[in-house]
Amino acid sequence: MTASYKEPLIQVRGLEKVFRIKGGMLEKKQNLRAVRGVSFDIMPQETFGLVGESGCGKSTTGRLILQLLRPTGGEVLMEGKNLASMKGRALKEQRAKMQMVFQDPYASFDPRQNIYSAVSEPMVIYGLAKTKRERREKVAQLLADVGLNPDAMEKCPHEFSGGQRQRIGIARALALHPQFMVLDEPVSALDVSIQAQVINLLLEMKSQYGLTYLFISHDLSVIKYICDRVAVMYLGEIIEMADKETLFAQPLHPYSQALLAAAPKIGEQRTGEVLTGEVPSPIRPPKGCAFHPRCPHARECCKQVPPVQKLPDGRLIACWLYA
């Protein structure tokens, strides 16, 4: 799927985001570096996974790509055009090609809109379907695609369960027939038996609409199930990136190893060491390798920034152990 002769759909180059945040009442404003020089490519029709713990910058990265947040550095290219420098009409036109599905299916709908107006609103914005009848037909079609009864149109979001709302969220994102979708923890808020339904739906929609996904999650097993390639993030940086098979068969970065070991597995008692300590504050990230204060293999050289290495199996890794 990641055939190398194709041009990447999305190219992210040295993406940076600095938030200015207020400290205490008398303190000066501080810089929170949420994303620190992230680069990757997403091939057409690929599912690219971003995995990491809270505060690692994975959701921010997704929003930076869609220009919902404007990057403070770096480029985001879609089909070769730099989105980061686009404004107004040009950006709006580009937006139609990329959509987002949010984590919280309860908060992502205007409580005053019924399902018909929520799903048809993108069509109205872009003037796609001219008449109300056309729009109703399209909405009915979209709802059927995501496995809902078209009767749902007249109802309000609060009448649906979490799983159904997530289906509606997917229908809304599909309304403009985008090429690219950012899925920000789309199943994390759902019950286990509903999660699987939504995951399968996402896979179906991907093949039906020929979509490219950026899948953001903290759940390794979901990432492994759905993604083709995976990048592991820690404190705003990608520390390891590889094909799913390569990464999950043998994670090399000590943090990837710890993350995989920490995820509880069904039918297995825990073995091995538990990672100690907590993620440091992104206001003052550790010097050099951000992971070195918690790393069991940390050495003196880890206080320098590790180079990004490309290993023979195609994986990229930022760790002194492999330099």
Query: Which residues would be at the binding site for another protein (CB under 8 A)?
Result: 53-54, 66, 68, 92, 95-96, 99-100, 102, 104, 107-112, 121-122, 125-126, 161, 163-164, 169, 172, 176, 191-197, 199-200, 218, 220-222, 224-226, 245, 248-249, 258-270, 274-276, 278-279
Residue 140 φ then ψ, to 5°: -60, -40
Nearer to another protein, 5 or 88 (CB): 88
Q: How many residues would you count in the chain?
A: 323
Q: Which residue has the tokens 């090429």?
A: 179
Alpha-helix runs per DSSP H in the chain = 58-65, 88-95, 115-125, 132-145, 162-174, 192-209, 220-226, 244-249, 254-262
Nearer to another protein, 44 or 52 (CB): 52
CB of 4 to another protein, least distance (A): 23
Nearer to another protein, 110 or 151 (CB): 110
Query: Which of 77, 9, 4, 5 has the alpha carbon at shortest distance from 43?
Result: 9
Nearer to another protein, 36 or 172 (CB): 172
3-state secondary structure of 190: coil
Q: Name the strands in the sheet holding 10-21, side by side, starting at the edge strand that comes first in the sequence.
A: 30-42, 10-21, 73-78, 81-82
CB of 5 to another protein, least distance (A): 27
3-state secondary structure of 12: strand
CB of 161 to another protein, least distance (A): 5
Nearer to another protein, 161 or 304 (CB): 161
CB of 25 to another protein, least distance (A): 14
CB of 275 to another protein, least distance (A): 5
- Assess contact for 198 and 21: CB atoms under 8 A: no
CB of 181 to another protein, least distance (A): 10
Nearer to another protein, 6 or 270 (CB): 270
Q: Is the sign of the CA dihedral 280, 285, 289, 292 positive or negative?
A: negative
CB of 264 to another protein, least distance (A): 3
Burial class (CB in 10 A: 0-12, 13-18, 19+), 132: exposed
Nearer to another protein, 96 or 129 (CB): 96
